[in-house]
């Protein structure tokens, strides 16, 4: 099983990176092949809205690092998208990434990709300074809904709170809880593959 972690934070060693890497660690311990992508190191430009991705089969016409992510997403069985909460929403980096998914979810562009995307599992993991977990719940629920509309199989939405009081790496409670998210992704994938084999035999 291939899992990619997308760290949509400006900080390579910040809370989001630590959190996503913990989930990947849990998955890796169960045998998954994991890769982390740091948006702080990637050049991902905003969608131009040119609809170039609808014309022909060359995909998004912007030649930047999103092309690497399109390829990584296509190969992945599951995606862990981590974002800090900025001004009550996902980071700008995460939003630009989400807009650029337009090129690969369009059925006119690629029905084949859409079919595969439908099977991709997604974990959304947010973190915020504020300790109140209900603070942005409406937005979190809405964002989950958007990714479901984009045909992702949203397995888990976590919101890690209170980062302003204690950074993620100092939080003893997070270690096992986050690793469990990664390991359950792998066990669910295995069970699903096993059931599919039984059904088709
Ligand atoms: C520009 C900016 C806006 C933020 N807005 C919020 C917010 O609306 N609510 C909140 O609880 N935390 C907010 N935070 C705090 C971050 O969500 C928090 O520090 C997070 O852990 C940062 O993750 P990182 O280390 O990956 O950058 C904000 C931080 C910044 C820099």
Q: In this structure, what are the phi and psi dihedrals at residue 121, rounded to the nearest 5 degrees?
A: -85, 145
Q: How close is the Cα of 13 to the center of ligand 1, in Å?
A: 14
Whether the pLDDT of residue 87 is over 60: the answer is yes
Each residue of 107-148: pLDDT tens digit? 544 555 555 555 689 999 999 999 999 999 999 999 999 999
Q: Considering the entire predicted model, what is its pTM?
A: 0.94
Which ligand 1 atom minimizes the distance to the CA of 7? 26
Residue % of the chain over a pLDDT of 70: 91
Residue ranges lining ligand 1, Cβ < 6 Å = 9, 11, 14-16, 84-88, 127-130, 163
Confidence of residue 106 (pLDDT cuts 50, 70, 90): low
CA of 92 to the centre of ligand 1 (A): 12
* Mean of per-residue pLDDT scores for the chain: 91
The residue assigned the tokens 């059931």 is 195
- The reported pLDDT for the residue numbered 190 is 87
The model's pLDDT over 15-50, given as tens digits with 9 standing for 90+, comes to 999 999 999 999 999 999 999 999 999 999 999 999
């Amino acid at each position: 099983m291939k899992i990619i972690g997308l760290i949509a934070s400006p900080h390579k060693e910040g809370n989001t990176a630590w959190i996503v890497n913990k989930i990947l660690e849990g998955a890796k311990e169960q045998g998954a092949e994991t890769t982390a992508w740091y948006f702080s190191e990637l050049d991902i430009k905003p969608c131009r809205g040119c609809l170039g991705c609808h014309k022909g089969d060359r995909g998004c016409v912007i030649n930047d690092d999103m092309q690497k992510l399109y390829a990584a997403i296509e190969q992945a069985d599951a995606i862990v998208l981590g974002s800090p909460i900025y001004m009550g929403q996902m980071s700008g980096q995460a939003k630009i990434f989400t807009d650029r998914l337009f090129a690969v979810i369009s059925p006119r562009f690629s029905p084949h990709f859409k079919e595969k995307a439908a099977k991709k599992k997604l974990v959304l993991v947010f973190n915020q300074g504020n300790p109140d977990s209900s603070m942005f719940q409406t937005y979190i629920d809405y964002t989950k809904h958007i990714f479901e509309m984009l045909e992702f199989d949203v397995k888990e939405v976590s919101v890690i709170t209170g980062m302003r009081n204690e950074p993620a790496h100092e939080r003893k409670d997070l270690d096992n809880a986050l690793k469990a998210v990664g390991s359950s992704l792998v066990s669910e994938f295995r069970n699903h593959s096993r059931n599919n084999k039984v059904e088709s035999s």
